[in-house]
Structure 1
Amino acid sequence: MSTSTPFSSINLSPALQENLTSLGYHTMTDIQAQTLPQILAGKDVIGQGKTGSGKTAAFALGLLHNLKVKRFRVQALVVCPTRELADQVAVEIRKLARAIHNIKVLTLCGGAPMGPQIGSLEHGAHIVVGTPGRIEEHLRKGRLSLDEVNTFVLDEADRMLEMGFEEALDCIVSHCPQQRQNLLFSATYPAKIEQLVGHIMRDPVKVEVIAQHDHSTIEQHFYEVADNAERDTALHKLLRQFQPNAAVVFCNTKAQCQDISEMLQNYGFDCAALHGDLDQKDRDKTLVRFANRSLTVLVATDVAARGIDVDHVDMVINYHIAHDPEVHVHRIGRTGRAGKTGVACSLMSYKESHKVNMLEDYLDLRIEPTALPGEQVLSAQINRAPMVTIQIDGGKKAKLRPGDILGALTANQTLQGDQIGKIKVTAMSSYVAVERKYANQAVKMISEGKMKGRNFRARKLTR
């Protein structure tokens, strides 16, 4: 249950307080109420809480409070495991900082072109948000100075360690001043985190907000399967039975993700894989399509799923039982959000009995297998995604804005505004979701029409 502590009760600058009010941020979440006073007091803090708990605002307000705006040097560094998360964090910091003039937030992430980052570093920044590998690379080349960092944040530290970033983190820490505030946020707290904490933090205050996802909104089922062939059939049956609008299928390996995604595509599902072996452009496209309802099924690894920032997931399927009960809770917490209901289905074999036992102990419940649907369910119609994403070969560099794209699609009144979904404009490309039956028309209108006085190529994103 969330706290009722108001933001006005803490010692933030008037500008930050006024901006919070204008954003509709009146009451703190549990993790904010427990960490922000400690952060503002200058203490090192460990915050353990699930995705969506409000931790980003907690550390963002802390580092903004400490910022000396007139000193144009990097004063805060936020390290994230993935580019997607870094982008989300940077957006949140900019939103919270908008009442303070001339604050520069710079993202430094792998998968993005190096040239623009080098140019931005030459111009300077107050806050850097990025991924370990790319930050380390800029440090080694002497392009980034952390000599004046007063706040060092590790966000989703557990995933960074899982991804093998220990050496990169060691390098980054060695470039920071000894006297600094350290803030570490993590969904889980494995032994490796304890070692990292001992290495970088001084007398940290630990705040643990238990993953009190209201499980009354999640309907959990467990199904027994004999082998992977039966697992595949079970997955197919469950998707046909429950007809989800947005499902995440969790796999333990990248290869499984790819194979299962291709299998489901062949059955006719609007499906894509999300894992670390995809290049950044493909990951970005997949996340855009899932967020704007152009995909009904996303097959993901735990690490890659950290980039998913949607509240409309109505089903989670664990292709295998998670290695760690905390990860299981984190996975199923993707559904049943924002007052909605969700379904979580887990496939288990006798070889996973030890994981099932651990899960029973952790959740304090007796897991009873549910019978799988019969063969007749395979003849049920597949629930297609309501939208299709159109990619346009032009973005911010071409001065395109969402209004230009909306205007081009509605100019001759063939399409109405309510038949057009989310529009996302990136540096080089733009993406717009349109109702499925209008997708071909939309491609034609963009390709044959003009925006900003010029033509742009457009195509449907399918596989």
Structure 2
Amino acid sequence: MNATPSNDKLAFAALPLSAAMLTNLEQLGYSQMTPIQAAALPLALEGHDLIAQAQTGSGKTAAFALSLLHRLDASRFDVQALVLCPTRELADQVTQELRRLARAADNIKILTLCGGTPMKPQMDSLGFGCHIAVGTPGRVMDHLERGSLNLKALNTLVLDEADRMLDMGFFDDIATVAKQAPKKRQTLLFSATYPEGIASLSAQFMREPKEVKLSASAATQAPAQIRQLAFEVREDQRLHAVSQLLAHFRPASTIAFCNTKQQCRDLVDVLQGQGLIAMALHGDLEQRDRDQVLIQFANRSCSVLVATDVAARGLDIAQLECVINVDMTPDMEVHVHRIGRTGRAGAEGLALSLASLDEMGRVGRIEQMLGREFKWQKLEDLTPAPGGLLLPPMDTLQILGGRKEKIRPGDILGALTGEAGFKSEQIGKINITEFHSYVAVARDIAREAVKRLSNGKLKGRKVKVRRMADLGELA
């Protein structure tokens, strides 16, 4: 079915959700359903299997989260819902969103099961019982083989970004997981595109699935609040043109998309050589390094994230001011994915594209799909805006000790604003991982914060603290 719901059907109150859930949605700022939510949720809540074509940023997480939470029995500490994701980053984001939406219910336990972290803490947590598991296929398979994950009580299986999982070679793993789940479960499959493998998957283990696909105009239309500008470049100008764009527009937070890993590395070298805090995100990075890069970018300690499309798939960074297409993508839908990462939640966004003469064919196809032409400007007309070197407002400190030592965000905030004597407005986002904790602090207090935390105590003991920027390879 093609979905273009009318405005009177976009209210969450039209759905058979609990009063507590509706109140929580209102508190979270969910004013009305997005098109994919309005099309998918009524079918999912009725218990149908579902194949939904939905882009990143379309609100698809809430579309399946509200459905699986609706079916959950909080009094039963068995895994009743399993969400499979292609990457750890996406799994972490889905877990966070589920926890926010689950605040309306009592004591819902949600676990993330991904590679790159030790098995034993995950096995121990599963042993205590949980309601929802979110994970990558490989790690979920590991737990199934070891017997630490039991799917006998599963009533909802979600495949998020199924096309990406197929690209990564997870077809057999997904099929194996599905076969170990009860046959009468509900299966919800979300995919940005519809490759042949999706039909094969659905034929194997879905029961008369309903199909939901946004109308072409809804799926490919870039948000109106995104300002799009384009600049013609020669190949030898391209990397330095990024510096010109940053100096002129001075965005606080930018993702620069490159078509290749080597282009990512080259651009980071150029930007770092000019004193900018820029970091790369591509497939060759170790999981630990990917996590640390993303933490620093999300907490506004890095001005520019230089990424390939594959590495950035599923990222949802709040308050992203600017996207730069360093290379024009040959895939028109990928262009919409890229620029759609800015201008979220009604905020204004800026999308800047660099195109050589060889890429004008790609530009033309994108313009035709969007139904409007690019607005062109000349690089030579750009002038550096006042303000000096563009630096991020925050700096990230790494603390040796995390969930394993039962460190919580409140402990770190208390240490910084208590004995260390800093103001709460100087402290930013706090991330706790298994063995490390990360806290963003105002850039001008970072070195002093390291000194005071190192000389003080956290949860009654001394801890090792360092600036992430001092690690060299990530600065």
TM-score, normalised relative to structure 1: 0.90
Distance 1:207 1:21 in 2: 26
Q: 1:385 to 1:70 in 2, by over 3 A?
A: closer
- In structure 2, C-alpha distance between the alignment counterparts of 1:290 and 1:45, rounded to whole Å: 34
What is the aligned counterpart of 2:288 among 272, 281, 284?
Answer: 281
> For the residues of structure 2 that align with 1:381 and 1:444, how far apart are their CA atoms?
28
1:222 matched residue in structure 2: 230
Distance 2:177 2:389 in 1: 48
Residue matched to 1:130: 135
Q: Partners of 2:141 and 2:6 in 1: how far apart? A: 37
Alignment of 1:2-401 (within 5 A): 3=7, 5-17=10-22, 19-20=24-25, 23=28, 25=30, 27-209=32-214, 210-211=218-219, 215-227=223-235, 229-306=236-313, 308-367=315-374, 369-373=376-380, 377=384, 381-401=388-408
Secondary structure (helix, strand or coil) at the match of 1:216 reads: coil
- The one-letter code of the counterpart of 2:298 is A
Query: How far off is 1:73 after superposition?
Result: 3.1
Mapped pair 1:402 → 2:421: no
Q: Deviations over 1:225-262 (max 9, x none)?
A: 332x3221222222222211100011223333233223
**Contact kept? 1:3, 1:28, Cα under 8 Å:** no
1:334-392 Cα offsets, whole Å, 9 max, x none, are: 11223322221222234334433321221123446532236975999431111111111
CA deviation after TM superposition for structure 1 residue 267, in Å: 1.6
Q: CA deviation at 1:461?
A: 1.1
User: Gaps spanning 5+ residues in structure 1: where?
Assistant: none
Q: Which moved more, 1:403-412 or 1:385-394?
A: 403-412
Given residue 84 of structure 1, which amino acid in structure 2 is its aligned partner?
Answer: E
Separation in 2, partners of 1:86, 1:365: 35
- Secondary structure of 1:303 counterpart: helix
Do the aligned residues in 1 keep the contact of 2:220 with 2:370 (CA within 8 Å)?
A: no
- Shift of the alpha carbon at 1:410? 2.8
CA contact (8 A) 1:389 1:432 kept: yes
Greater mean deviation of Cα atoms: 370-379 or 51-60: 370-379
Report the alpha carbon displacement of residue 459 of structure 1 after superposing the two structures with TM: 0.7
Per-residue CA distance 1:90-117 (angstroms, 9 max, x = gap):
2222333344335332221011111112
1:374-453 equivalent positions in 2, closer than 5 A:
377=384, 381-411=388-418, 415-453=422-460
The residue matched to 1:373 in structure 2 has which SS?
helix
Change (3 A) 1:398 1:74: closer
Q: What code does the residue aligned with 1:310 have?
A: I
Give, in whole Å, the separation in 2 of the partners of 1:105 and 1:189.
Answer: 29
Say whether the 8 Å CA contact 1:74–1:125 is kept in structure 2: yes
Q: Percent of pairs identical after alignment? A: 52
What CA distance in whole angstroms lies between the structure 1 residues aligned with 2:205 and 2:7?
Answer: 30
Gaps (5+ residues) in structure 2?
Answer: 470-474
Between the aligned partners of 1:405 and 1:2, the Cα distance in structure 2 is: 47
Once the 2 structures are TM-superposed, how far is the Cα of residue 2 of structure 1 from its aligned partner?
Answer: 9.2
CA gap of 1:396–1:73, structure 2 versus 1, over 3 A, is closer
Counterpart Cα distance in 2 of 1:112 and 1:399: 16
Q: Tell me, in whole angstroms, the C-alpha distance in 2 between the residues paired with 1:345 and 1:110.
A: 35
Secondary structure at the residue paired with 2:367? helix
2:228 touches 2:375 (CA, 8 Å); kept in 1? no
Q: Residue 231 of structure 2 contacts residue 377 of structure 2 at CA under 8 Å; is this kept in 1?
A: yes
Q: Choose 19-28 or 41-50, whichever is displaced more.
A: 19-28
User: Separation in 2 of the partners of 1:225 and 1:70?
Assistant: 61
CA–CA distance in structure 2, aligned partners of residues 128 and 213 of structure 1: 33
Distance 1:58 1:372, change over 3 A: same
8 A Cα contact 2:83 2:133, kept in partner: yes
Give the distance between the partners of 1:243 and 1:277, measured in 2 at CA: 29
Q: CA deviation at 1:41?
A: 1.0
Contact 2:428 2:440 in 1 (8 A): yes
1:373, 1:81 → 2: CA distance? 42
From the superposition, tell whether residues 120 and 408 of structure 1 become closer, same or farther in structure 2 (CA, over 3 Å): closer
What code does the residue aligned with 2:94 have? V
**RMSD over aligned Cα atoms:** 2.7
Q: Structure 1: how far apart are the matches of 2:234 and 2:199?
A: 38
3-state DSSP class of the match of 2:380?
Answer: coil
> Is this contact kept in 2: 1:219–1:343, CA < 8 A?
yes
For residues 445 and 213 of structure 1, the distance between their equivalents in structure 2, rounded to whole angstroms, comes to 50
CA shift in 2, pair 1:120/1:46, >3 Å = same
Instruction: Assess if the C-alpha contact under 8 Å between 1:3 and 1:33 holds in 2.
Output: no
Separation of aligned partners in 2, 1:65 and 1:368: 46
